[in-house]
Amino acid sequence: MDKIVLITGASSGIGEGCARKFASQGAKLILNARSVDKLEMLAKELKEKYATESYIMPFDVRDRKAASEALASLPDEWKAIDVLINNAGLVIGVDKEHEGNLDEWDIVIDTNIKSLLAMTRMVVPGMVERGRGHIINIGSIAGDAAYPGGSVYCATKAAVKALSDGLRIDLVDTPLRVTNIKPGLVETNFSVIRFRGDKDKADNVYKGIRPLTGDDIAEVAYFAASAPEYMQIAEVLVMPTNQATGTITYKK
């Protein structure tokens, strides 16, 4: 795959999995996350393992000014982004909607919705101009139905579905493609953040069931990106075999 792929939230979990998968297939990567050290380590690993080039862009996706400046300062050879993977996302807490922390909700909404919108607004016009491009949004099974302690997060992922569908409509007269990937249980650092750093509680989420990994979701993202240009994988719901919905699982 001779393409330039921009991944937000690339330093861990699904984003890191996507970086490795696309690098292994020959793509050049623009890696975004907050941690310079993690991005540099990942870029070094990809260079050594796959002989692929990476360009690191360390900034918080919630910082629109930083994002704009970083994209504007890309060297000419990195400007023609072919694939945008809007992966950065999180949830904090399992509070009831009438008991939650408004400041934490701001972080979740700004990261999961507004940052995705900002990156889309900044990157997609160039794709339209060049007549090629693919936007892959990492949604969630949580966007299909609300569940206890997750109403705000579920609302943000429902928004990702609506924004993906809306963008696909807006781009229907172009060659661009839009994919919304909706993972179920995926074991990453995601749950540790949800439980505010309590790793025991986070680990309990996956006990008795084999969860998916960031690498598994990366395989789906690559499949969508590598499909023939006349084919658009619009939406994929992917979960462990022993998961049926966001709330129904079988655990041994």
Q: Is residue 246 part of a domain?
A: no
Q: Is residue 245 part of a domain?
A: no
Does position 190 have pLDDT exceeding 90, yes or no? no
Number of domains in the chain: 1
Could you confirm whether 230 is annotated as catalytic?
no
Q: Is residue 244 part of a domain?
A: no
Q: Is residue 249 part of a domain?
A: no
Could you confirm whether 157 is annotated as catalytic?
yes
pLDDT bin (cut points 50, 70, 90) of residue 181 is very high
Q: Is residue 248 part of a domain?
A: no
Average pLDDT, the chain: 96
Which range (127-136, 159-168, 186-195, 242-251) has the least confidence? 186-195
CATH number at residue 55: 3.40.50.720
Residue 99, sorted as left (phi over 0), alpha (psi -120 to 50) or beta, turns out to be alpha
pLDDT digits (tens, 9 = 90+) for 10-25: 999 999 999 999 999 9
Q: Range of 140's domain?
A: 4-238
Q: Is residue 243 part of a domain?
A: no
What is the average pLDDT across 202-206? 90
Contact 71, 170 (CB under 8 A): no
User: Of the residues 28, 153, 182, 222, which is catalytic?
Assistant: 153
User: Of the residues 3, 21, 28, 157, which is catalytic?
Assistant: 157
pTM (global) more than 0.95: yes
Q: Is residue 23 part of a domain?
A: yes
Does position 199 have pLDDT exceeding 90, yes or no? no
